[in-house]
Amino acid sequence: MSAAKNKLNHLAIIMDGNGRWAKKRHKPRAFGHREGMNNVQRITLAANKLGIKVLTLYAFSTENWARPKEEVAYLMNLPVRFFDKFMPTLQENNVKVNIMGYLDDLPKKTYDVVQRAMAETRDNTGLILNFAFNYGSRKEITTAVREIATLVSNGGLESDDITENTISEHLMTASFGEYQDPDLLIRTSGEMRISNFLLWQIAYSELAFSEKAWPDFNENDLKKFVENYQNRHRRFGKVDESDS
């Protein structure tokens, strides 16, 4: 008897390997970031076609500020280029943009462009394209703990009433409701680590790693990873009849 296929509602991707992709081609790292940006468009449209509800893309971590100044400046300008180039297609495809991260720390131009992208697509009802930009999971959890502590000290919440749900509700993924935890997390470019991404939310995510650098990760690769995920056996700690 074949089991029912897993539904993929929330896909998260750690888009890694842009710099090495460029280096292999004797080009500056920025060249890889530009090609990586173009790939975001391709994979977004492919994810939309596959019926995915939320696509979370790790685009800039709270640790990435430690890169050379010119590279950080280039990465901070990428949202400006991306929305300039792709906003009409995103609109045509009913994509709703969300940016998750510490936005107040972004340069003004970047801040303005991401706020505008969210405002302009607010009423779209298709795929949610969620960029993690200046995002770090430990910082996110720390912020949540602080908010909850404030509620408790103000008398708005009893410490005994803090549940797992209370914590989820204070994370940046809260607005995705039943889809807030990724079903599948893919990291490209062969690294097998999480790099401070969605630590709470991936408790039961399926993990997958691609050897390809992000600019080379195409629609076909995505399809293969999704099919592989759909046929996995997710147990969530239980014993299924088919295992006993």
H or E segment and range at residue 3:
none
Q: How many residues bind Mg ion (CB under 5 A)?
A: 1
- Asked if 225 and 187 count as a contact pair (C-beta separation under 8 A), the reply is no
Among 8, 12, 16, 136, binds Mg ion (CB under 5 A): 16
| Cβ closest to ligand IPE, residue 59 vs residue 148 | 59
What are the two backbone dihedrals, phi and then psi, of residue 125, each rounded to the nearest 5 degrees?
-120, 5
Q: Which part of the chain contacts Mg ion (CB under 5 A), choosing from 12-20, 54-62, 78-86, 155-163?
A: 12-20
Catalytic (active site) residue 64: yes
Rounded CA separation 161/195 (Å): 31
Q: Which does 58 bind (CB under 5 to 8 A by kind): Mg ion, ligand IPE, none?
A: ligand IPE
Q: Which part of the chain contacts Mg ion (CB under 5 A), choosing from 14-22, 106-114, 127-135, 178-186?
A: 14-22
Catalytic (active site) residue 160: no
| Rg value, the chain, Cα | 19
Among 59, 127, 129, 172, binds ligand IPE (CB under 6 A): 59
Residue in 231, 170, 233, 212 with CA at minimum distance from that of residue 13: 212
Q: Kindly tell me the burial class for residue 5, based on how many C-beta atoms sit within 10 Å of its own C-beta (0-12, 13-18, 19 or more).
A: exposed
| Cβ closest to ligand IPE, residue 47 vs residue 148 | 47
Q: Provide the binding-site residues for ligand IPE, judged by CB under 6 A.
A: 14-20, 58-61, 64, 75, 189, 191, 193, 195
